[in-house]
Amino acid sequence: MAYWLLTTHGVALFPISVFLWTWKRRKDMASIFMVIKYLYGVTFSLLYHSHHTLGEDKFTSDYDYSNWALLDSYAASSLIFTTVLYGLRVREPQFYITSFAVENIVLIVYLWENLNQTLIITWYLSVCSTIVCILKWKTIWRYLLRYRILSFLLLSSGITAIIMYTIAVKQFYNEIYVKFHSLWHCFVFLTAGFAAILRYKLDEQLYPMINRRDTLDSL
């Protein structure tokens, strides 16, 4: 069952595919930014979890394990907030500026070892995400009015991901941790995928690409 920690990362292909489709259709550079961040985040997570699940076949060593643990925690926390920015259609350059500013605070907290990192990061990201939601309330309202099923799926998977994380975070590599952390992987990636679809659909409705063929054929 421990291998579920690795195989459930495959659900990340869902949001990554949506990001690539959005870029292909709309030449949205923020989507390429998200693809890169997700590829790095999944890679760090795989290396971190493989240390405990692959036994002698693992790619990491006890010497560099703490580095992969740091990169996994930082990348996961950063991805959550950046996905909030992306899903709520925060535009460039505010998208990149806000992401960079918040992520660096996350990194500082993870490097400050004598802090209650989990509690601080959870509250910090919750407050930052709430502020973004308040500022982008019109986008949320449009999602709820125009795409009710997708909005329901996003909220359902998001709430489930929070529940799975809350259970798993109290454990450490026992059967309960493996089960619920693996489920967290699934539902957090599903949430990201639904958010990306909502952004794409609303952008297509509000700002349709008139000369799509000319845009796609040019570099």
What are the pLDDT digits (tens) for 144-201? 999 999 999 999 999 999 999 999 888 777 788 888 888 999 999 999 999 999 999 9
User: Could you give the CA distance from residue 80 to residue 191 in angstroms, rounded to a whole number?
Assistant: 10
pLDDT of 11 higher than 90: yes
**Best CA proximity match to 80, nearest among 113, 108, 121:** 121
List the domain range (segments joined by +) for residue 76. Answer: 4-207
Domain assignment of residue 47, yes or no: yes
pTM of the model: 0.89
Domain assignment of residue 156, yes or no: yes
Predicted local distance difference test score (pLDDT) of residue 58: 64
User: Could you give the CA distance from residue 105 to residue 177 in angstroms, rounded to a whole number?
Assistant: 27
Q: What are phi and psi of 206, to 5 degrees?
A: -80, -35
DSSP-derived letter for residue 90 is P
- Secondary element (H or E) of residue 109: helix 94-111
Domain assignment of residue 212, yes or no: no
> Residue 167 has which token pair?
């259970």
Burial code (b: 16+ CB inside 10 Å, e: under 16) for 184-206 equals bbbbbbbbbbbbbbbbbebbeee
The structural domain count of the chain equals 1
Domain assignment of residue 138, yes or no: yes
Which positions ≥6 away from 175 have C-beta within 8 Å?
Answer: 1
